[in-house]
Amino acid sequence: MPTNSPKLAPLGLQEPRVRALPASRVDTLLDDVLDICDLANVQCDPWQEGALEAVASIDADGQWAATEFGILVSRQQGKGNILLPYELAHLYLWPREDGAPKLIGHTAHEGATAREAFRRARRIILASPILRAELVGGGKQTAQGVTGISTGNGNWAIELKNGNRLVFFTRTGAAGVGVSFDVLIIDEAQHTPLTILEALLPATDASPNKQVLFTGTVPKEDQDGEYFEGLRDRGRKGGLERTGWIEHTPVGSDDPDTAAKIDLGDPQTWREANPGLGIRLAFKTVQDDWNRMGQTNPDAFARQRCSIWPSRRPEVAAKLSDLDLEAWKRHADESAAVGGDGVVLSLALGRGGGYGTIGAAVRVDSESIAVEHLHTAAGTRWIAPKLKELKAQYGNALVVLDAKNAAAVIGALDAAGIKYLAMNLDEIAAAHTLFIEHVNAGLVPHRPQDEVTRSLELATTRNIGRAGVTWEQSDPTKPVSMAQAITWALWGVLKSEASPKKRKPRPPAAVVIRRDDVERDEVNLATFQF
């Protein structure tokens, strides 16, 4: 196989197949980034400069044009030469408008990846007298280490005299809690569970000029890449006000039909997907990968080396669950509010406990059960008082919930004396099945609540062991707590009907005792045996 050909594009000079800039962009601060590269002695390749030029886009107000920006590129291309200059520019050149210290967070799925990124940043800064002089304490060497650089407790941080800090850490469920970032780097974005991002992304909301940068490769089927996939879809669509996206992928790789026809052994395919080929990645390395994997595992080669990641087919994307949305919409009725006897309340929390939803359901005739969304609000402190109020309003209504989903408020419910019925996995799956069956059969009247319909439209499903399926978010910005709440409330009505209340035995009716009723040898009515 030839290692070079005049018919192919020059090595290392590939443009990204997709380069979608935010619609709000009017300029870029690339020159600032290149200045910091000179101070740091970092040499960027053309494709890396192109990515930095896009990420550093600003709007008419001088704010970051993209609040979210994603870069899809295969491994070993040198994306560190995008992340490090970007971080150093934020750390040294771009202060907050209000003068407050800036906090830049660099997160990775693996601790080793975060640690290596920190070590490279430390090495670059310490090697530059100008950059080193701006560290807290001037970057002096002490018995405890270098001033301005911390390495304790599994967190690695670099702090300047002006208070700006760059911290490196591994993503966990508690990452970002109690911290407010101005800039957040999500490296290895293909390993990003929604539960982690729901806790981490709000940590940037308080910044007056926030930006989140995602970099990663194509996720495997068993990896949690839902958010990265959603960002990819938004980026490929293009034209969005605050979203940017770049991907180095072969022509046709975004369509499932054309992607299947790509010649994985064609060097031009390799060059389209590997912008560092011939510069940071040896041509023979890719050739060896193909020779090793081409016959035995071509899917892995397509994913790892060629970044082939087709979008979902439109018909799959349009139908995320078995729910008949038209049947749901047809049975919207202003008079279908939940009330009266037998109301069941339900509680569903958003992932990470950032908000909660209360739903309700009640039997309206022999076949139909009405459902309703009662309340959704941020935080969790309001939930126990609100549930207590609603229980009283509906006559000590039954409350149903998923104990795992509601773990953050179980203590508060117990303290408030609120009794509830906790659903197990089998019951959660059964609730989903019963809700789908009832809606599709036209047996779930409901008030026309647009937020509930939207929740059902955007909800997909996930397996819960062998029990079945339940509602799942298709994107962190598309909550399903309303879909969960009305589903569980409907199940609660059926459950309460299948478990009739125990009745206390009635006392015996009063009788008149006569002399003839007394035993022959009994003379005292007071000792009559009942």
For 325-498, CATH number out of 3.90.550.10, 3.30.420.240, 1.20.1300.10, 3.30.413.10 equals 3.30.420.240
What pLDDT digit, counting tens, does each position of 21-73 carry? 999 999 999 999 999 999 999 999 999 999 999 999 999 999 999 999 999 99
* CA separation for the pair 472, 477 (Å, rounded): 12
On whether the CB atoms of residues 425 and 433 are closer than 8 A, the answer is no
- Hey, what are 194's tokens? 């929604």
Question: At residue 521, what is the residue type?
Answer: D
Higher pLDDT, 3 or 309: 309
Task: Name the least confident of 90-99, 178-187, 221-230.
Answer: 221-230
> Dihedrals φ, ψ of 363, to 5°?
-75, 130
On whether the CB atoms of residues 302 and 308 are closer than 8 A, the answer is yes
> How far is C-alpha 479 from the geometric centre of its chain's CA atoms?
10
Give me the helix-helix angle, 383-393 and 407-415, nearest 10°. 60
Non-local (6+) Cβ contacts of 104 within 8 A are: 87, 90, 91, 164, 165, 166, 167, 181, 182, 183, 184, 185
Question: At residue 248, what is the residue type?
Answer: H
Question: For the range 168-172, what are the long-range contacts, defined as Cβ-Cβ under 8 Å and sequence gap of 24 or more?
Answer: 168/106, 168/107, 168/108, 168/114, 168/115, 168/117, 168/118, 168/121, 169/105, 169/106, 169/107, 169/114, 170/107, 170/108, 170/109, 170/110, 170/111, 170/114, 171/107, 171/108, 171/109, 171/196, 171/200, 172/196
What pLDDT digit, counting tens, does each position of 173-200 carry? 555 566 889 999 999 999 887 767 777 8
* CA separation for the pair 283, 320 (Å, rounded): 42
Looking at the DSSP assignment, which residues form a beta bridge with residue 349? 356
Task: Give, in degrees to the nearest 5, the angle at Cα 227 between 224 and 230.
Answer: 125
> Dihedrals φ, ψ of 199, to 5°?
-90, -30
> How high is the pLDDT of residue 522?
53
Domain extent listing, the chain: 18-248, 256-318, 325-498
- Residue-level length of the chain: 530
Q: What is the pTM of this model?
A: 0.63
> How high is the pLDDT of residue 528?
47
Q: What is the mean pLDDT of residues 268-290?
A: 91
- Helix H segments across 374-458? 383-393, 407-415, 425-440, 450-458
Three-state DSSP at 44 gives coil
* CA separation for the pair 439, 344 (Å, rounded): 18
CATH H superfamily, domain 18-248: P-loop containing nucleotide triphosphate hydrolases (3.40.50.300)
What burial letters (b/e) apply to 149-158, b meaning 16+ CB within 10 Å?
bbbeeeebbb
